[in-house]
Amino acid sequence: MSEINEKKSIGNIAFSIFKYLMLIAGSLVAVIPVVVCVFTAFKTEAEYQSTSPLSLPKSFFYLENFKVAFKQANMARGFLNTAIVLVVVLVLSVLMGSMLAYVLNRFKFVGNGLIRNLFMFAALLPGIAMQVTIYQIMNALGLINHLYGYMICLMGTDIISIYIFLQFFENLPVSLDESAIIDGCTYFGVFFKILLPLLKPAIMTSVVLKGVGVYNEYYASSLYLQSKELKTISTALYTFTGPYGSQYNYICAGVLITIIPILVIFLIFQKQVYGGLAAGAVKG
């Protein structure tokens, strides 16, 4: 008996060692490409030329590369534009997504199923492929090279938050609405006063997921925001492909400037991010 236990515990210890080795290896692979970038971003020109990319910089207080990158790519403007787009798109998508989900979930009417299916099918259409003809429509409506045009386009192609809200409504009891209506509430009142506050977890999830998507969006902004003062943070970063071709000390600094905000948000909202993923996954 004791022999079996001993065998087991040796097996367990071996498994533990294996487990941690693997997890450490996996984490290293995930982190090394970014960490190397951090090292490089803090190196002076001479240091960058002469040292191995794997070596630590002399000082983590050398910020010149960040200054140059920030200025050169006009990132102040990029951050401002991205911030405006984020606020407007997030607020409006949360409102529109939750309102639509409320109507689809709470009311039976002709066309309810059809509308759900239209949104489902829309999720199947490959985004980048659709831009070929969306470009035409944006052009016809005069929405190209306007920040509001880009925002409308982002909201128009947003299906994820609708899914998240629809799912959340399924678990909100209808009795809530009914008792409010008996108390004399209108449907609008039910939605804004009773249900919207209860949607908070779903709102968090959709804001985090959609927020990451909007912050990282590149393709549409490269098509629809071509003038210099309309660059978003992604298109600003992309300008490094040109003049700084292979000066990776500047490029890495630029990359880090764009990553830091999202890293901070991720560390604060980890739970919501993981939870939101799981919620989205059920739908596929």
Q: Which of 10, 17, 263, 264 binds another protein (CB under 8 A)?
A: 263
Site for another protein in 212-251 (CB under 8 A): 212, 215-216, 218-219, 223, 234, 237-238, 240-241, 246, 248, 251
Q: Which of 10, 76, 198, 277 binds another protein (CB under 8 A)?
A: 277
Q: Residue 95 has which token pair?
A: 């409102």
Shortest Cβ 126–another protein spacing (Å)? 5
Shortest Cβ 14–another protein spacing (Å)? 10
The amino acid present at 175, given as its one-letter code, is S
**Own/partner pairs for 81-86, CB < 8 Å, 24+ apart?**
81/147, 81/225, 81/230, 81/231, 81/232, 81/233, 82/214, 82/215, 82/232, 82/233, 82/234, 84/147, 85/147, 85/150, 85/151, 85/154, 85/214, 85/232, 86/211, 86/214, 86/215
Shortest Cβ 62–another protein spacing (Å)? 18
The region, left, alpha or beta by phi > 0 then psi within -120 to 50, assigned to residue 125 is beta
Shortest Cβ 229–another protein spacing (Å)? 19
Q: Which is nearer to another protein, 70 or 248 (CB)?
A: 248
Interaction of residue 186 with another protein, rule CB under 8 A = yes
Site string for another protein, 39-68 (x = CB under 8 A): -x-----------xxx--------------
How many residues at the interface with another protein, by CB under 8 A?
Answer: 87
Q: Residue 57 has which token pair?
A: 């910089």
Q: Which is nearer to another protein, 8 or 228 (CB)?
A: 8
Interaction of residue 174 with another protein, rule CB under 8 A = no
Shortest Cβ 48–another protein spacing (Å)? 10
Shortest Cβ 33–another protein spacing (Å)? 5
Q: Which of 34, 76, 91, 268 binds another protein (CB under 8 A)?
A: 34
Site for another protein in 87-146 (CB under 8 A): 96-97, 99-100, 102-103, 107, 109, 115, 118-119, 122, 124-126, 128-130, 132-137, 139
Q: What is the DSSP letter of 208?
A: H
Shortest Cβ 257–another protein spacing (Å)? 10
Rounded to whole angstroms, the Cα distance separating 1 from 4 reads 5
Rounded to whole angstroms, the Cα distance separating 208 from 94 reads 11
Class of residue 85 by CB neighbours under 10 A (exposed 0-12, middle 13-18, buried 19+):
buried
Q: Which of 57, 78, 149, 254 binds another protein (CB under 8 A)?
A: 254
Length of the chain: 284
Shortest Cβ 1–another protein spacing (Å)? 12
Q: Which of 163, 210, 252, 272 binds another protein (CB under 8 A)?
A: 252
Rounded to whole angstroms, the Cα distance separating 198 from 213 reads 24
> Residue written as tokens 């590149």?
218
